[in-house]
Every structure is written in C-alpha cells, then in structure tokens.
Structure 1
C-alpha cells in the first residue's frame, strides 16, 4: 500500500518551497520520521520525513521544482523494507543536469570511486551529497568516502570538503611510504578559451537579495562609525576564560560583550530598538538580538530572545548553538522569527570596515570588524592598542543622527570599560 509524502507546514506566511535535495532514492528503505528530502524555503532548509516505515516507491517532483504546502512529493510503500530488486538506477535528472554543467575534462580526471560518489548510485561506499558539496568534491579532487561529515546524520557539508582539501595540502609527505600513482592530469583549457556557468539561485539567496534591496529602497539608510579599544575586553577574557569555561562549559567570546553593550544602549535610546509599521512606531521593552550567522546556503539571522535578561554564559551558549545548527542546516523558522536589532560580525572574515544593511523591519544593525593593533593617543602619548571599527547603520526615518551616535557611543564606552555593563551605566 502506497502512502503519500506531502510538503509539511513550513511556518507562518511561508506557502511554498523548492526541492533542494533528495536524501533517499526510489528503492531505498526508510524508517518512520526518517528524512527523505530537503526543501529550501525563504529562510531555512526543511527536511521532509517519511510518515511510515517502508520503501521509497517514487519521486513525484524533481530537484529544483517549486512545491506548495500539502503537495505530494513522493510515495512510500508501507511495510516493505526489503531492498528492491532492480537494475542499477539511472543517474537522477538533477544530478545529470549538474554533471552536464561540469567540463568533460574535470569529470574525466576523477577516479572511478569519486565519479560514482558524485551523484550516480553506487554500492556500499556511496556518499549522499548535495549539488554544492558534489561540486566542491570535483573542484578540490578529494575522496568523499574518506571524509567524516559534520552535517545532520553525518552528511558531508561544503566546509567538510574544503577542510579535507586543505588538510591534504598541509599534510607532510612521508619519504618512506611508497609513492602514490600520480593523478591523471587535467587537460589545460585552450589558450584564450573562456567559460561561464549559469546556476539557478536558491530560494534563500533570492529572498536575501529581495530583502536587502527592499531595505535600500524603503529605508533612509545612513551609517555612523566609531572605533573601539578592545584592551579591557581582551584582558577580561584572558583573566577569566578558564574559570568561565569550567563553570559554564562554553568559551567566553566577544559577542556576549557586544550583545550586553547593545542592550545597554537600546534601553537608553529606544528608537534604535523600534521599527516603523505604517504610520506608527512600534517600541519594545525587551531586546531580541538577531545574530548574523554564515550557513552553507547563505547568511541567516537566528534570534537571541530577551538578550537583555540573559547572562554572558546564556548568550554565548545560545550563539554557539545557532552556529552549530546553521552549519548542519537544522535551524527552524521559529529560530529566525522576530528580532528587534541585529549584530553582524564581518571581522571573522577579515573585514576592516563596512556599512551593514538593516534587517527589515528592524531599524538598526551593528557591524563588528577585525581587531588590529593601531597607534592611538593616550594621555599625550602614542601607544599601540588593539582597535576595532564599529559601524551602526540605521533608518534615518525613525532614528535621528544624535540618537544613532549616542547609541554607538554607549556601546563603545561599555566595551572599553566593561564595568559599565555591571552597574548599568
């Protein structure tokens, strides 16, 4: 008896999604609630579980198809968990389309076992990979079967492949070991030959593009800057990092300091924590901080709720959990709903200065940047201090320049003198 697998409820105001990846192929055995497909929504990837135990009978839609909530995407034969007796399945259409985009010389350069793992059904050594991961495997020439996946259910992520490729390059050669056969050379592109590739934007990337462009079109964006001496925070972390980690089971990072400093400023300057709704301004007596996190499919902003009522440890634990789940693609729609203020840390990627764009309907975003030693004047002398540029982008329709500058100055002073965070000054 066949059971329909339907698109589940995706969240408030989300009515459709794109089929991003099939985790199970026709003939594969599935357990109850075992994910069989991954759907891409405007914000997150959502896995579709099997409603019954049995065997996947067929796919009703292809990778890349847009499906609505309640639509049937697959059929599962209930109770039949025995492997299907059938000839080796043909390569899925989506995988074939991706393979067609790769140059023939790249595919030819892959060893047989890697070619099998790149999308075609294989034996016991096959690895389930998304198109992005498969492409990374081809580009870096690594063996996916030798890499331990850190994604959900042990699946490979693009970061796993890149890390394995870098480790392979950094590994010292063993002179005593027999020389491995040289890989087949990849034919060089003909001189003057130029290539281009068209890849359909994911639903998440399309939404990011629309929201950011909408913020520019609808808000009166302006950015104010300041620089911040990180000496006191660095010294505090160094003095208490071991005790903090021992007591709370998490490292003491910079984000908790900036989150608490932002809470202090937003309480004193409520307009920075408000937003415009029609012809009204909505103020909040709480601070829900959206923290920009890099995920495999793009930037996501999960929300640390009531950050003003949380301790340093609670904030660090929440952010660490978001980072881990973003990498695994396990964030939910509820994780990213709401938010009254955003903090984005471009410094982890080496950014010196930027003008971040607000996250609608919010009215302000704090941009953090890399810390670098710079000469500054202190008490009439030039000294070297670890400095960071801070950027506060805001909607000038609701926040005046005086308010924005005041809020950023409060954050700067709280970071330079963390005692202010304890005495609410």
Structure 2
C-alpha cells in the first residue's frame, strides 16, 4: 500500500514500523472474510482492511474524527486477520500505533474516560480487584444481571501449592483477575507440574503483565509494568529458571511481545528479549512431558474454546486439544473454532452489545456437540462465556486435575 507519512507522523517513535506494515498490505481482503466484527456489522470500516485505511489516513495527516476512533475501538484485536493474511501484515502492531495517535487527537466522552480509567485503576491491582469481587459476590442477589454475569457463580478454593523441591524450576505469572475469579487455576497448574518433577518458584514482586494499560492506550504505563516484571523475574532467570509460564493466554501473548515492544530501550532490550524467549503457555510445557503416566480418569465430553490469543497470537491452536485427547478426554467438534468469543480483555465492558452477540454465537457453536463441560485457556474467555449461565466453563488444567483426582 503506497504510503506517505505526514511530518508529524514521521516523528513518532514507531514511524518506520508503521510505514513498513502499511506497505506490506496488498488490499486482498482475505482478512475481511474472517473478521468477527465485520461479520456482525457488515461495514468495511469495521474490518481489518478498512481499519488499515483509516490508520493510513491518520498517519498521512488526514482529519481524525470520533467515527475513526469508534471503528478502531470496535476491533477485538483477536488477530484472526493475521492468521488469514497471505502477506504477513502485522495488523495488531499497526492498530496499537494508530490507536495511540487517535487517542491524542480525539477527546473521549466523560463516560468513556471514567470507564477506562476505572478499569486501569482496578483490574491490574489483584488485591483491590479481589476485594471488589468478594463484595460483589456478597451482594450478588441484588446485583443487576449485567454485573452478575461478570462474577463466577462459584469460586473453587485453590487448595495448597507444593513447596519448590525439584531441580527443574519455572516461574508462573499469577495474573490480575484470575486470583480472584478462578484462584484454583494456577494452584492446579503448580500441583500438576510438581507431579511431573517441575517446581514453581514464587516471584511475588511480579504483577500485571501490562496488557490492560497498553490496550486501553496507556501504552507507557503498560510498558512500565513490563519493566517491573522483568526486574522481578530476572534473578530467577539468571539462576536458571527454564520458563516463565502463563495459564492465561491473554497474558502470555503480551509477555511474548516484551522483546519487540522494548527493543529500543537500552536498559531493557536484552532482558526483554530473554523474557519473551522464556515465555511459555502452560500447554507448551506439558505437551513435552509424559502426562499419560499420571493416570487421569477422563470420562467427560468436552468442547474446547481456543482463545484468540492462544491460536492467533501464540500460534498454539490445536495444542490443548491434542493434549486433552492424549489424556483420554472426548472432545466434541466446534464449528468456526477460529472466531472470537467477544471477551477480548476489557472489550466486554467497553463494547458490551457486540461482545454479547459474539459470546452467544460462540456458545451456540460450542454447545452444538452436547458437551458436559466447556474448557478454555484464558480467564477472560472463561468468565465471559460462563457468565451466560449455560454450559459450565472451566480452565482446562482444572478439569485435568479434577479428573486426575476423580472429583468430577
């Protein structure tokens, strides 16, 4: 795509990157056919190709409007388009660049500003989020349906985690909302890894991965959280930790980006690249281990919802399904498994109507094979899908551990 950046755009820190991405797009439109928001709205500007044109206009100095911002806001950043694209267009990077420019030029209404600042103030702080979640659970009978759907009907207690006792050690990203909404997920992962001779080493100073801030256009703050995590993990990395494990694919996708996003930071570039290289989704660790020897009693029929971050960002589509089949689970067929459930980080709060439509479409597909449970690999998807009150949704590692203990 022929591009001529404006003088102001040429001064952006990522100007060369933006121009390179724009020039790599050949207008083929394959991305539009697989875009969830285009499928719902039928507007070219609510598909990747249309948004690329909008960003091109912004970076070439054309006027920016609230309409431009709306079309960019509606993007889920599911990266389905990147999987489809024959030219390798790095759409999500271009979207981050374009959104940041638009955010500076288009004032948001007060309601949007309050919502976004509120999310940034609460979600990345696990203790505060947990306190609010507990309050919400206590008030659950009187909450409006929209808020009640954001809270799990039942929170499974995490149980004990094993002490670090093996030579093989990994770090585990605890996450922001998962400790409150699904505290047993990381505990189950730690126990299963322990059975396989891998210990989880605590890194209490690590916090939010930074994705919440970054994707709400507070990019500097998101990168500062990334730096703090690198500092927290670095002693263990130097001591030989073999991986930094994530049980939430959304967090994992962002940690995998640290090396790219901090490549021009002279103090953190090398460390960030190392951390990104060590980042592993839980399934990447377990797929190489002799899990069949665990003796899992797998009698459930499962439907697996593969999060967008797992299949399109981390390129691990099909890996959890293969692992579950190795363990003896029966997996039902899921039509259109490449499509987004509508959770997409904070999207279910910033774009609730579109998010609900996408959720209900995804649930219809997931339930078409009559599963007993729906498994997934990301807390956002889990909470969003389970909030509909239909087939129960749980993280796949909890289902595996429960089957191992014959508790389901």
- TM-score bracket for the superposition, by shorter chain length: under 0.3
Bigger helix share: 2
Query: Scaled by the length of structure 1, what TM-score is found?
Result: 0.27
Larger Rg: 1
Bigger strand share: 1
